[in-house]
Structure 1
Amino acid sequence: MSDSELGIKSLILWAILLSLTMLPFIGTINDLLAQAAASTRLDAFIETYISPPMAMAVAAILTYVFGIEATALGHSIYLVEHYLPYKLLLDWNCVGWQSMLLLIISLAAGLQGSHSRLSKLKCILLGVVGVILLNLMRVALDALLLEAYGPRVAIAFHDYATLPLTFLWLAAFWYISTNFILTPRGAERGSMSLKAVIDFLAGRRTLSVASMAIILLSTFLGGLGILSMKVSAEDDPTKLSFEWFPNAVTVCNVTTNRVMTHPDYTDLNDTAYEDAYTASSTGLVRIWEFYLYGPLQENYTMQGAITYVVWLKGSVLLERTRIFYTIYDVAENGSETQVRRDWIPIFLTTTPARISLTVLQSSPYTFQEGHTIKLAIDLYVKAGRTYTLYYDSPSRWSYLKLPGIVVPENVLPLIFLAPILPGLMIRRRGEEDA
């Protein structure tokens, strides 16, 4: 067995051992370092300028490379091949700033030697392009697993595989850099100028493998940027809008005028529908029930953040009350199974107000094909008072927003290994040369 084969196997072994060692501490280390990063306002910058284009790039990879229909809106990616799309949420801690930080730290340590400026530049460019591609493929792979196996497998992969994969990439990058890219000062001729590229295209000179790799990968990213403009969504495809149907419809053996519509079928009116209720007694009352219009065309697993948004108005100047939301799984025969119940204290006035509540569905729940989803709204009311729910209009948009999966990076524990990894690779090169 050659030394290079032993080197590759040892890297894999290191990745496995390191991952097993770090697993108990990943959550604590990530939380501490992520809080430190957030204190510098890094989170706001990333969510504004980096997350949205990255979401579109991943959606483009899924659509044009893997053939999975996907779209992007803001910092979310939607797998729209399903009736109720799966959503991946790229918040600021998901885009890859951690692996970029690891690269910067390792570059600061690994480029200390007497290497030529050109080889250092190639090393930096290849590292930056590599980090970008690593994180795009990391999220894309999560999406592919989500599409094929559902949220549980995708989350498990991301929780336990991100760390060893990032370590392997960083180790491989430095192995290639120290053995094939970094050269002593004066040992490398030529440059990566525009003239050199033109001469290469004209056949008058050759480029190094590193230069060609940088050009090809950069070209791929440029093309991906163009394709990403074609996968932008107009609205959130996981938002189920409340609508009023003048002619009652039957959903899973239940007749109703109040429905929740899938974005593909949402048709809101210019003026909001005012659904008023006058209380005859004081207490908790179930007032409104909305059914997802049409049975589910396939199984749907709900796990992650759920958002309730309603527009409500009272009939007195100021009233403190409580609103309850209950989600049901409705079978084809109309029988119901309660999935979850949430509530929030609110204040109502004589002016319609937007009320929002976001909760976490920690354990997955699967709605079967042919079933539908029901949302019941209860309100603590007082006798003689009127309560009005506004919906079915863009100006008073009440809806249920289904969960998305957050895919944090979780590689900050490697921050202590990043500075010494280039040295390990340099020593290995010296051993092989000997």
Structure 2
Amino acid sequence: MFDEVLVANRGEIAVRVIQACHELGIDAAVVYSDTDEHAKHVRQADEAVHVGSSAARESYLDQDAILDAARQVDTDAIHPGYGFLAENADFAAAVEESQFVWVGPSSDSMTTFGEKIRARQQMDRAGVPIVPGSTDPIDSAAEVESFATEHGYPVAIKATGGGGGRGLEVVDEGDDVDSKLQKARQEGKEYFDNPAVYVEKYLESPRHIEVQVIADEHGNVRHLGDRDCSLQRRQQKLLEETPSPALSADEREAVCEAARRGIAESEYVNAGTVEFLYENGEFYFLEVNARIQVEHTISEVATGIDLVAWQLRVAAGEELEFAQSDIQHRGAAIEFRINAENPSEDFAPMPGELTTYRPPRGIGVRIDDGVDENDRISPFYDSMVAKFVVSGIDRDEAIRRGKRALREAAIEGIPTTIPFHLQALDDEAFLSGDHTTKYVDEGMDID
């Protein structure tokens, strides 16, 4: 096992990794920017290295500065958390070529799954259902129109390196296909340095279902069940739950096994998430997130397996010590993303000082955060304050517990998304499990 790990991140995920390190008897070093000199992750770490100014590109995204920090503290491994460099295959490769161990999937896996066409090809070979569409880049509007003639409108033009809605153009009958093709290419080049695009059938009202996986270098691959991330705003997740209220037992088994099989046949190692779109009783592969994700918490709560600790153990060469049949999914769990945003003003970010911060406690409540009272939510980074995670014997109990926890929380100095979450827990579409990824944007009247 490692003696020390450098956490190349900030906020609540940095704190989460530090906690896992300490439980395994590993020292944790961190990096910090000017703004974060006195941040919670710095206060909890064993060592801290300043890496640059408050701007992320000059600190947390500075690959040379991160590697220099690792050499300075003489660490054994680098854990990137999520966001920032966690999604950068070039940085993973640089770590792999250094004296440090990369805590995450290989740079080759990140490259494969970071390009949607290659990811679709990989999953198609593994027999995982993919949305009908091209498995090679397209070059002309005529190819889009030919595909639409065969499969019907609407269709989606997607940047192969895209994500979060960037590089995505939806084409309806009568639209100027060429202009949308060029726009998707332009965004792909601008945001992902890759202008290649492909076309696929556009699912108009899907659910977002994902499966947590963990794999070791000894050929063992396990899934930890499904999560439902359909409550989104502009393709950004707001609330996640497990298990999905939309799936039958047979559908759940099928989608989890498809995810496990796809990962196994790709020779993927470490933690990851296989994401699917689900509509009209069918599920289709969307993408693989080759890293730990924000919502890993509910999979941990539901299974009792510490995913971050296993990321470290797998990176150190250990073999998974549990079989698939050992993993028991208990009850239901919901994660609420508590952000410094004003839901009534189109979720506008509202950074500032936490003059009061008393998160909820009690049975079935877990809090992951990167702040304490009197800390500041910085305008330089994402607006997350904390993740409130609740669990219960079933979905109804988890919802009741969520209401209690959200009402019990005391946060002052900034607006938060708590009012939105309370509204969601009383919303008929959410309670019935009928909501889709479009519901918040198109059907929910936010107070």
Asked which structure has the greater RCO (Cα within 8 Å, sep 6+), the reply is: 1
Compute the TM-score of the two structures, normalised by the length of structure 2: 0.24
**Greater percentage in helix:** 1
Larger radius of gyration: 1
